[in-house]
Amino acid sequence: MSPARCSLLLLAFAPAACTALLGAQDPIEIYDTPPAMGDAGTEAEAEASPCTVCDGACVDEQNDDANCGGCGLQCPTGCKSGRCLVVLAQGGFDPATVAVNTTDVYWTLWIQDPCPTGPAIMSVGKNGGAVATVVSGLQPYAMAANATALYVTSQGNPCTGGGGAVLEIPLAGAMPGPPRTLATGQAPRSLALDEASVYWVDENEIGKMPLDGGSVTTLATGQNVGSNLAVNASGVYFSTPPCPAGGAQCGDILAVPTSGGTPSMLYSASPQPWTGVETAAVGADANDVYWNTSGCDGSQCASLVLKGRATGGGAIAQLASVPSLGGVVPALIGSSKIVVDSSSAYWVGPCPADAGASCDGELLKVGLDGGAVTTLATGVQSFAVDETSVYWGNSGFSSGPDEASTLTGSILKLTPK
């Protein structure tokens, strides 16, 4: 008798239920009972059976808890369809921004009544453990981490006042150090890191500071800069702001050298003659720049992921198209970034058109040459990616009998990505 098959939403993931990741085409199928496998664990038998050789043993990556989706990828919650979903932290927060380094996951904690301490940044180990408060009294907007420090753009303290700033929080030692102010400004927003410097957008300026200290360099000023930023070895990439009501073509992609200079126009935000165009996210790898843009052509609305050479020129490649419901420009949310690894691009997709001004979206993935779009998770506010896994924050509220709301957000990890 053939094995029973089923597919469910990712967030219904549980040992007692069949689960699948929903892609843009057909759901990935998994089995209640795995296909039969031979007893031997040799490479010769691996070639003739659905298994992979890990440390000389033949294993089924679809169901092996010690090699889930790849050799050595352990799954404490039970491997399902070659994926491992782990809830790293849950309850008591509404995660708005997520970042990772080599050991930990960090997220911003938004609370309904923030005073007297103000919002905070929390952390948990990448394999789980106790949740810790890294710092409180900030109103963080964007965040990035490396092995030694956490970098944050803050809008000030909503309880005690104070202007926006770019901050560095040392992570060396048993406890994080106090925040160090790198730069002050009216409203610093997106930031990015490379191996030597931190970069940020502040109103109509793009700033830069060496990670080992030094003075702030203004790379570009007087520009009509949006809140999206990405960097590679040769340039800093950003978009112009969304169109005002009734506007036509906005959210274009520009670049400025990492040493500073005059920004250059690389690409129009959309290859189509759309109206209401806006760019929600920008990313870059060594050779290309990627952006997520949306708009309408009179008959339909969609959100696109596009790719072009980082040097400019040449054709724009469309990697993905996500239709919008209701015939209006979709509300684009998430962390205003596209994360790119050696094979795929990851971003937070659009809210449904009838979702209003605020909602949680879908964590999406597509190959760097295009192809099918895979939905990795739903209800996502922000996310981060490392070599093996993707991490994200889900928001959640539950109301009690007195109509008081309780935060029930979660931090989750999916391996392999």
In this predicted structure, what is the pLDDT of residue 112?
Answer: 53
Burial bucket for residue 399 (CB in 10 Å: 0-12, 13-18, 19+):
exposed
Taken in order 44, 47, 50, 55, the sign of the CA dihedral is positive
Q: Are residues 385 and 339 in contact, defined by beta-carbon separation less than 8 angstroms?
A: yes
Q: d(Cα 100, Cα 388) in Å, to the nearest integer?
A: 12
Q: Report helix, strand or coil for 328.
A: coil
**Which are the contacts of 207, defined by CB distance < 8 A and separation ≥ 6?**
166, 183, 185, 199, 200, 216, 217, 218, 219
Measured distance CA(254)–CA(241) in Å, rounded: 11
Backbone phi, then psi, for 240, in 5-degree steps? Answer: -80, 160
| The 3-state secondary structure of 131-171, one letter per residue | CEEEEECCCEEEEEECCCEEEEEECCECCCECCEEEEEEEC
Q: How far apart are the first and last CA of the chain?
A: 32
For position 186, what pLDDT does the model report? 67
Distance CA(343)–CA(359), nearest Å, equals 29
What is the model's pLDDT at position 198?
95
Question: What are the pLDDT tens digits along the chain (417 aa)?
Answer: 333 323 223 333 333 333 333 333 233 222 222 233 333 334 444 454 568 899 999 999 999 999 999 999 999 999 998 999 999 998 767 788 899 999 999 998 765 555 655 678 999 999 999 999 898 877 788 899 999 999 998 876 666 666 788 999 999 766 788 888 898 876 788 899 999 999 998 877 899 999 988 899 999 887 667 668 899 998 999 887 765 554 445 678 889 999 988 888 898 766 666 666 677 789 999 999 999 887 777 677 778 899 999 998 788 999 998 876 544 444 444 456 799 999 999 998 765 555 554 456 788 999 999 999 998 988 888 899 999 999 998 876 554 444 444 556 889 999 999
Report domain extents, the chain.
92-225
Instruction: Read off the DSSP letter of residue 10.
Output: G
The Cβ of residue 132 has, within 10 Å, a number of other Cβ atoms equal to: 14
User: What pTM was estimated for this model as a whole?
Assistant: 0.80
CB 274 within 8 A of CB 297: yes
Task: List the structure tokens of 346.
Answer: 């990851």
Write down the pLDDT at residue 413: 95
What 3-state class would DSSP assign to 28? coil
| CATH numeric code, 92-225 | 2.120.10.30
Residues ≥6 apart with Cβ < 8 Å to 340: 283, 284, 285, 288, 290, 346, 368
